[in-house]
Chains A and B, each alone.
Chain A
Amino acid sequence: MSIKEQVIAIIADQAMVDPTDVKLDHTLADLGIDSLGLVESIFAIEESFDITVPFNANDPSESDFDISSVAAIITAVEKLKQEQSK
């Protein structure tokens, strides 16, 4: 599975929807994922990709990890994986 497919699978699992129903321009709120669901998704991402995601629930918009849409999350994970392999 590509990073994109894995991230979508994690988000779909959290939202309890089929992966094919997750669109790249969806926000997590669109998918019914609340703040607690978000923290759980980030944990799942960290465990799946063996990365550390810089994220503080007190200020998601200022964390160094863009969660504004499914596409943004995929890009952010790809970036973290790239940095890791350097």
Chain B
Amino acid sequence: MRRVVITGAGTVNPLGDDVATTFAALREGRCGIGPLEIRDVDRLSIQIGGQIKGYAEADHFNRQQLALYDRFTQFALLSARQAIAQSGLTFSGELADQSGVVLGTSGGGLTTQDENYRAVYEEGKNRVHPFIVPRLMNNAAASHVSIEWNLRGPTFTVATACASSNHAMGQAFNMVRSGMSKVMITGGSEAMLCFGGIKAWEGLRVMSKDACRPFSATRNGMVQGEGAAVYVFEDYEHAKARGAEILCEVAGFAMSSDASDIVTPSKQGAARAIAGAVRDAKIPVDSVGYINAHGTGTAANDKTECAAVADVFGHHADRLMISSTKSMHGHLIGGTGAVELLACVMALRDGVIAPTIGYQEADPECALDVVPNEARGADVDVVLSNAFAFGGLNAVIALRKYS
């Protein structure tokens, strides 16, 4: 088994258009959720979201590229560009053949679908642009990252709803760990903030109309966000040999299925994934200092997640910190685990724990240290990132400080 390290990170999300800006926002507890600016927003009962404001696609891509790049592909490419630049890697020859891309997404090119359904159904058009299929397909982002940087090894997309990114990064981790790949570009991307994307979520009656307040007794639902984060997962020996800067080590990963209900989360399923990641990392449970929670701000998730953490960690659950940064960037669905891993990297690198903002009132069913409202300085060696998806699919990743 080979060691796996992170040598690059990039992001575009509601808190910032790169890692440094995002870290600053997470430290300040800045909220990236606000009124949605999309077509037909007046017909939605949910009118807020973690939308990336001030983003002009023409600033980053030319006309030919935009004909092929849905918004979720654009976010993935911009994030990958930052991550690969930071790693200092270029891909050619044998390294290109041994390097690939695994990205998570849930909706894929949903905005492209939405716009074209509108064109044919609402506007009655009988003709669509020739590239709708390659633009909307779920693997478009992974393929374009592969094309752009000449990554010729294993490349695919993982779609497990809200756990897509964590499942994707788990695959990338195990591919490098097993020696199958030298380098994997991994993370996730989502751009669902279009009329149809939000209308579908509205139907489920789990969305908040005002704010995402994870763990707070006053929480009233989730808020959607959009964006991406992408990382360079690299074989440790390879990174060391070329003198790369190592951001942290990927220590463990586990996944589980509740095998019970299509939307209601299960404590046992979550606990098995959390305990599995700790076991996979071969670390004592009391070495975990911080957990970036799934923390959606729904009644069901937050109490179930806290109960699962209490089960796995016992007395140590009262000493570790657990926060949900969805309070700031919203729920990026298939991209959420990737953006949330940034908070984990920040905890290990900078010794700063991102807060759960919007926290108003303690809930006895979420009686853990949720780092309410203000970031906290803390020296942590091991951190976890939880993701628990609709469909009962759970994926937890463990990171360790590199020294």
Contact = CB atoms under 8 A, between A and B. Distances in A.
A57 B264 contact: no
B43 to A, nearest CB: 12
A2 interface: no
A35 B264 contact: yes
Contact of B263 (A36, A55, A56): A36
A25 B206 CA distance: 27
A58 B263 contact: no
B298 A58 contact: yes
B203 A43 contact: yes
A45 B233 CA distance: 50
A62 B264 CA distance: 20
B264 A58 contact: no
- Residue of B208, B220, B261, B300 ringed by the most chain A CB atoms within 10 A: B220
Nearest to A42: B205
B262 A57 contact: no
A17 interface: no
B204 interface: yes
Contacts of B203: 39, 43
A59 interface: yes
Main secondary structure of the interface of B (DSSP, over half): loop
Contacts of A39: 203-205
Contact of A58 (B45, B261, B262, B299): B299
A34 to B, nearest CB: 8
What bracket does the count of chain B residues touching chain A fall in? Answer: 10 to 19
A57 B296 CA distance: 14
A56 B220 contact: yes
A26 B280 CA distance: 48
Nearest to A35: B264
Nearest to A36: B263
Main secondary structure of the interface of A (DSSP, over half): loop
Contact of A59 (B261, B262, B264, B299): B299
What bracket does the count of chain A residues touching chain B fall in? Answer: 10 to 19
A69 B206 CA distance: 22
Given A36-B263, A36-B264, A58 B221 contact: yes
A58 B204 contact: no
B365 to A, nearest CB: 13
Nearest to B222: A58
Interface string B262-299: 11100000000000000000000000000000000011
Nearest to A39: B205
Contacts of B204: 39, 57
B182 interface: no
B324 to A, nearest CB: 15
B219 interface: yes
B338 to A, nearest CB: 26
Contacts of B206: 56-58
A57 B221 CA distance: 8
Contacts of B220: 56, 58-59
Nearest to B299: A58
A38 B185 CA distance: 42
A42 B206 CA distance: 13
Contacts of A34: 264
Given A39-B204, A39-B205, A43-B203, A56 B264 contact: no
A35 B204 CA distance: 10
Contacts of B261: 36
Nearest to B302: A58
Interface in B220-279: 220-221, 261-264
Nearest to B45: A52
Interface in B54-100: none
Contacts of A59: 220, 299
A58 B208 CA distance: 9
Contacts of B300: 35, 58
Contacts of B208: 56, 58
- Residue of A42, A43, A55, A58 ringed by the most chain B CB atoms within 10 A: A58
Given A57-B298, A58-B206, 20 more contacts: A34-B264, A36-B263, A36-B264, A39-B204, A39-B205, A42-B205, A52-B45, A55-B205, A56-B208, A56-B221, A57-B206, A57-B221, A58-B208, A58-B219, A58-B221, A58-B298, A58-B299, A58-B300, A59-B220, A59-B299
User: Lowest 5 CB-CB distances: which A-B pairs, in order?
Assistant: A57-B205, A58-B299, A58-B221, A58-B220, A39-B205
7 contacts: A36-B261, A36-B263, A56-B206, A56-B208, A57-B206, A59-B220, A59-B299
